[in-house]
Amino acid sequence: MASVLAPVSALRLLSDTALAGLVIPASRLDHEPRRARLATGLGVLDRALGGGWPAAALAELCGRRSAGRTSVLHATLAAAIVREQTVALVDAAGAFDPRSAETAGVMLARLLWIRAGGARNQALIALQAADVLIAAGGFGLVAIDFGEETPRAPTAAWLRLRHAAERQGTGVLVVARGRTAGAVAAAAVNLHDARPHFVAAGGPLLASFETRIAVERAVGPLPAPANGNDGDDRCLQFRLHHTGPSDQ
Amino acid sequence: MLRLASVFAPRLALQAALRRAPELRGTPVALTAAPVKRDGRAGRPSVVMVSAEARRAGVRLGVTAAQAAAGCPGLSLLPASAADTEAAQAALGDLGFAFAPRIDREPGRVFFEIGDLGQLYPTEAALAQAIQARALRLGLGVRVAIADHKSVARMATRAAERAIIPPGSAAAFLAPLPLAVLDDPLDADVAQTFTRFGLRTVGQLAALPAAEIALRLGAAGARLHRLARGEDDDPFLPALPPDAVEEGVALDYALIELEPLAFVLRGVCDRLLARLGCRSLACAGITLRLQLETRTFDVREVNLAAPTRDVAPILQLARLELTRRPPDAPIVGVLVVARPARVRSAQLDFLRPTGPAPDRLAATIARLAAMVGPENVGAPRAENTWREEAVGLSPFHLPSSPSPSPSPSSSSPSSAMAIRRFRPPEEIEVMLGPDGPAALRGKTTTARITVAAGPYRLSGEWWRRGDDGTTGFSRDYWDVHASDGALYRLHHDRQGDRWYLDGYYD
């Protein structure tokens, strides 16, 4: 047992002493070639992720109700469509709203929408549908929206998706309430602390809301946090404006 | 000069039966048919056709099925079926359309012009070999002959598995062949006369004077004499391909459960897709015609989201359809009619990312439709209505032109707020305060409302009458911030005086 602990103790000693600045965790080593990125079109989020979601990899977007996941999803879909990529959305929750997606810039005719909502085992069907889509090849982005659920799929299922995504060059974005793919995901973002803004115009009027981004997992070196916070929770902000049904 | 290929499938009825039992190829097989008696009842089934293996094992034509089985222990008896033979004949036609746009059909045989195929195949022998290989994929063993004339090519297929008759050498090719190749079957009286004359080969007949033959044997003899000299007055009558492709099977016993029916359907669909593949076509949908034990038919339409050559999504959709509405009686026959369609082709763009291949995308969409239902796969469409929850689906196609809108600025600090819908809207109870909703309670949500913005009134569709007798809709919408942190959108139905949760901003 002592022989096992020895290297750990040595590392701890190094990190606790003046040599701490010279010790770089292996996960932060910049030994990988620069990955292609799928920009979301949201500058704050793209900077936080080092350019966008990692291409040809699996990424997770989490948050509770009204945390802003769907707005980020729509922005990501819109940006991918503008890049001429073929895009699919597997809607396990059946909650996709085409009008607000169109307002966010999603060209609906260029989005392949698969509604799995209402099925008995909708999470499993959604995963199978995503697997079929990725295996077809040629898709730039496949998003799986689990909505309020945090699907409990076996790690093998996520590994299968990740390997297929790497092989076909497809970005996979999993939207769920909590993290579910674990270490299989190349990037994970958690949205939290959403705050709505109402303006008074003869009564309260919903105008926008703010949410905060916590990058919980990422590939490659990330830019330093703009507000000086340390740690993985980068506490970056971005704002979403309401351009709702009155504009339709 | 016109060059024609004749493709002949010998013992077509037997080959047709073996197409649905391919595992029996190479084994002793006998085709049986039951003669109909004068009183209308079926007689004992007797052997009407045998495979080469069965013939070697001693099975003879005309014996009863029981006698044949007793004489040859490993013999497989297959009932003759007109539907099988028709399907095999149609498959033979599709084989012709795989090589030429126009074909001429005869029972068990097709002709087609090979004119430009010389650019694809180095020699006519290679072409004949390719035709036989393609026929094997359709479950048919064929003989191929290529000649200047229909009659010569027809006679050559009776003499050899593969025959290439060079231009102008028909008479020389036919000369050593026996007289039996002139017709199938050669008239017995004529054959006897030829024997009396001491004629054994086609060349001997061709050497006789035509007028003398016509004088002694009449018009039939004159025709045979012209054939023997390689002279042909049989025109090539081209026909267009049929609009639909059919395959059917008459079952030996009635099927009640879905699994064995799916097994039968798989074989039928495999054969259909192979025939469509011959014509470089895909399947856009099938019509399933089930013959029931009650002497009625159950007809189903199975539509595909996109044309495909993959059998799996077709089968899955057919199974879904049959599971949703099982047949009323046991099934004794299956006929599948496929709707042919061209697979969409696309030109790759040098400057744009490569999307999925059109045929793979079509197969993928069909598979997805089989998983979640065809009504749940496509491109979303915002309906032209003020009802916020209205949504439609259009068929998804790969874009053929670049995106018209400019790229969103990556430095944009904000984006449009999205809403997630509850479908259908969830009915809730709302407690009202002086400024609007003060609390809400539903199946999944119970919360106090901290801020309520609204109401925003939406009404319309007064020209439509609902199931409950109301016309149109009239709603007061509210955007509320609830104590659980969520931003809900809810509405009050003014006609029914009920509250609904439409969704939440996210």
Residue A16 has what pLDDT? 65
Across chain B, what does the average pLDDT equal? Answer: 87
Is residue A164 packed enough to be buried (19+ CB in 10 Å), middle (13-18) or exposed (0-12)? buried
Contact B266, B315 (CB under 8 A): yes
Residue B460 region by backbone torsions, left for phi larger than 0, else alpha for psi between -120 and 50, else beta: left
* B459 touching chain A per CB within 8 A: no
Contact B429, B441 (CB under 8 A): yes
DSSP E strands in B418-470: the ranges are 419-433, 436-441, 446-465
| Whole-Å CA distances, B481 to A204, B44, B446, B453 | 11, 83, 12, 9
* A191 touching chain B per CB within 8 A: no
> Is B402 in Cβ contact with A84 (below 8 Å)?
yes
* A101 touching chain B per CB within 8 A: yes
| Whole-Å CA distances, A139 to A29, A171, B348, B353 | 30, 8, 15, 9
Radius of gyration of chain A from its Cα atoms, rounded to whole angstroms: 20
* B484 touching chain A per CB within 8 A: yes
* B348 touching chain A per CB within 8 A: no
**DSSP class per residue in A11-32:** HHHHHHSGGGGG---GGG---S
Instruction: Kindly list the strands in the beta sheet with B245-255, ordered across the sheet, starting from the edge strand earlier in the chain.
Output: B245-255, B331-341, B282-292, B297-308
Tokens of B80: 């003759």
CA distance B449 to B173: 97
Nearest CA to CA, how far is B337 from chain A (Å)?
Answer: 27
> Is B421 in Cβ contact with A68 (below 8 Å)?
no
Q: Give the residue among B387, B406, B416 at the shortest CA–CA distance from B477.
A: B387
Q: Give the residue among A129, A179, A128, A135 at the shortest CA–CA distance from A157.
A: A128
Is residue B168 packed enough to be buried (19+ CB in 10 Å), middle (13-18) or exposed (0-12)? exposed
pLDDT per position as a tens digit, A188-228: 999 987 888 887 766 677 878 888 888 888 876 666 555 54
Tell me how many residue pairs between chain A and chain B have CB atoms under 8 A apart.
226
> Is A82 in Cβ contact with B403 (below 8 Å)?
yes
Minimum-distance CB partner of A241 among B357, B416, B421: B416
**Phi, psi angle pair for A16, to nearest 5°:** -85, -10
| Whole-Å CA distances, A240 to A53, A79, A164, B65, B414 | 19, 16, 33, 81, 5
Give the burial string for B419-429 (b: 16+ CB within 10 Å, else e): bbbbbebbebe
Helix (H, G, I), strand (E, B) or coil at A119: coil
CA distance A85 to B272: 35
CA distance A89 to A101: 12
Residue A194's identity, in one-letter code, is: A
Nearest CA to CA, how far is B457 from chain A (Å)?
Answer: 11
**Phi, psi angle pair for B341, to nearest 5°:** -150, 150
pLDDT band (50, 70, 90) for residue B164: very high
pLDDT band (50, 70, 90) for residue A7: low
> Is B372 in Cβ contact with A66 (below 8 Å)?
no
* A182 touching chain B per CB within 8 A: no
Residue A63 has what pLDDT? 92
> Is B353 in Cβ contact with A140 (below 8 Å)?
yes
For the cut 50, the answer to whether the pLDDT of residue A246 exceeds it is no
* A70 touching chain B per CB within 8 A: yes
Q: Model's pTM, two decimal places?
A: 0.66
CA of A96: which chain B residue's CA is closest?
B420
Residue A21 has what pLDDT? 62
For the cut 60, the answer to whether the pLDDT of residue B173 exceeds it is yes
Q: Give the residue among A175, A220, A222 at the shortest CA–CA distance from A77.
A: A175
> Is A81 in Cβ contact with B372 (below 8 Å)?
no
CA distance B495 to B466: 12
Minimum-distance CB partner of B391 among A82, A98, A205: A98
Q: Give the residue among B236, B227, B325, B340 at the shortest CA–CA distance from B278.
A: B340
Residue A88 has what pLDDT? 95
Query: Which residues from chain B sit within 8 angstroms of residue A243, using beta carbons?
Result: 416-417
Residue A245 has what pLDDT? 40
Query: Which residues from chain A sit within 8 angstroms of residue B501, using beta carbons?
Result: none
pLDDT per position as a tens digit, A97-154: 998 898 888 999 999 999 987 667 888 899 999 999 999 888 999 999 998 888 888 8
CA distance B95 to B82: 20
pLDDT per position as a tens digit, B423-453: 889 999 999 988 889 999 998 889 999 999 8
Could you give the residue ranges of the DSSP H alpha helices within B106-209? 124-137, 150-159, 170-174, 188-197, 202-207
For the cut 60, the answer to whether the pLDDT of residue B139 exceeds it is yes
* A120 touching chain B per CB within 8 A: no
Tokens of A247: 């504009």
CA of B394: which chain A residue's CA is closest?
A109
Residue B162 has what pLDDT? 93
Contact A92, A126 (CB under 8 A): yes
For the cut 70, the answer to whether the pLDDT of residue B411 exceeds it is no
Least confident of B357-371, B416-430, B482-496: B357-371
pLDDT per position as a tens digit, B20-49: 888 898 899 999 988 877 777 778 889 999
> Is A208 in Cβ contact with B414 (below 8 Å)?
yes
Question: Residue B30 belongs to what H/E stretch?
Answer: strand B29-33
Tokens of B83: 């539907």
Q: What are B32's strand-pairing partners?
A: B47, B79
Tokens of B486: 């969520």
Residue A18 has what pLDDT? 58
Q: What is the mean pLDDT of residues B275-288?
A: 88
DSSP state of A147: T
Dihedral sign of CA atoms B492, B495, B498, B504 in order: negative
Residue B237 has what pLDDT? 87
A74 compared with A240, residue with greater pLDDT: A74
Across chain A, what does the average pLDDT equal? Answer: 80
pLDDT band (50, 70, 90) for residue A244: very low
Is residue B189 packed enough to be buried (19+ CB in 10 Å), middle (13-18) or exposed (0-12)? exposed
A60 compared with B324, residue with greater pLDDT: A60
Residue linked to tokens 């929206």? A145
Q: Give the residue among A173, A127, A103 at the shortest CA–CA distance from B505.
A: A103
Residue A2 has what pLDDT? 44
Query: Which residues from chain B sit within 8 angstroms of residue A144, using beta carbons?
Result: none
Dihedral sign of CA atoms A159, A164, A167, A172 in order: negative
> Is B412 in Cβ contact with A198 (below 8 Å)?
no
> Taking the C-alpha atoms of A197, A199, A205 and A211 in order, what is their torsion angle to the nearest 10 degrees?
-10
State the CB neighbour count (10 A cutoff) for residue B397: 17
What's the gap between Cα A68 and its chain centre?
11
CA angle B338, B341, B342 (to 5 degrees): 150
Residue B456 has what pLDDT? 86
Contact A82, B405 (CB under 8 A): yes
HEC sequence for B309-354: CCHHHHHHHHHHHHHHCCCCCCEEEEEEEEEEECCCCCCCCCCCCC
For the cut 80, the answer to whether the pLDDT of residue B212 exceeds it is yes
pLDDT band (50, 70, 90) for residue B153: very high
Q: Give the residue among B373, B378, B366, B316 at the shortest CA–CA distance from B341.
A: B366
Q: What is the mean pLDDT of residues B226-254?
A: 85
Is residue B153 packed enough to be buried (19+ CB in 10 Å), middle (13-18) or exposed (0-12)? buried
pLDDT per position as a tens digit, B89-136: 989 998 998 899 889 989 999 999 998 888 889 999 999 999 999 999
